[in-house]
Homo-oligomer: A and B are copies of this chain.
Amino acid sequence: MTDISKEITLDLKRQSRLGFDEAIFCAQKSPPQIDEILQQARAQDRPLLLTRLSPAGWDALAPAWAGAMDYDPVSQTAFLNAPARAASRGEIAVVSAGTSDIPAAKEAVRTLHYYGHEPAEIYDVGVAGLWRLLDRVDDLKERRVIIAVAGMDAALPSVLGGLVGGLIIAVPTSTGYGVAEGGATALKSALSSCAPGVLVCNIDNGYGAACAAIRAHNAYSGGAT
């Protein structure tokens, strides 16, 4: 093992402790660091979920790893040794306000897929054209968890929170410009909503929203308790 191996301490007990595998946030790691992490995981025969792996980052890894991994450029996620799991189907919905919010929405979808959940996907139903959302309310009332992904059209989680009774997880996104402030306005907007019990993740954090949905699922379906 090279020296870089000392920079890494994989959290091997996370699955038994939390019900999650280790996941690797790649945006601020160097290609040699990511490669080393993959090697350690493979040596121990463990699955890994990689997030924020840019196409350029994937290109650096692909010569050695393309065969062993499944990469999706829209969500910027990759799977290594993802086990086959069938956890839920349609229990969770991922909803986006606009087309620009797709990357964060797809990060949530891919994380859910990795853990065996098959969410409903409903895109581009922001409140600027309210009928698009109202058309889907009856469907959404059937979902246990709704991940609402919205940036410029940030009223979506608030409006949803007043329409349906399931668990609502807002993912503010960095779409927009000017006072959108890279997603901070969408985030604060969702947090100060009048609709009771809307919860929030970090900006663009589709991964975190999916994990929270899985926590709810596991807590109530035997996974964690």
A residues apposed to B, CB below 8 Å: 6-9, 11, 13-14, 17-20, 23, 25, 27-30, 33, 37, 52, 74, 96-100, 102, 121, 123-132, 141-145, 152-155, 158-159, 161-169, 172, 174-189, 191-205, 207-216, 218-221, 223-225
Contacts and interface: CB of A to CB of B under 8 A. Distances in A.
Contacts of A214: 197
8 contacts: A27-B100, A155-B155, A164-B224, A178-B204, A186-B192, A191-B205, A197-B214, A199-B212
Contact of A153 (B158, B169, B220): B158
A184 B175 contact: no
Nearest to A27: B177
Contact of A127 (B29, B159, B174): B159
Contacts of A178: 172, 174, 182-184, 187, 191-192, 202-205
Given A13-B129, A18-B161, A18-B162, 15 more contacts: A13-B131, A19-B165, A20-B197, A27-B177, A33-B102, A152-B193, A153-B194, A154-B155, A155-B159, A155-B193, A166-B218, A179-B188, A179-B202, A197-B214, A200-B200
A201 B204 contact: no
Nearest to A125: B9
B189 A208 contact: no
A11 B99 CA distance: 12
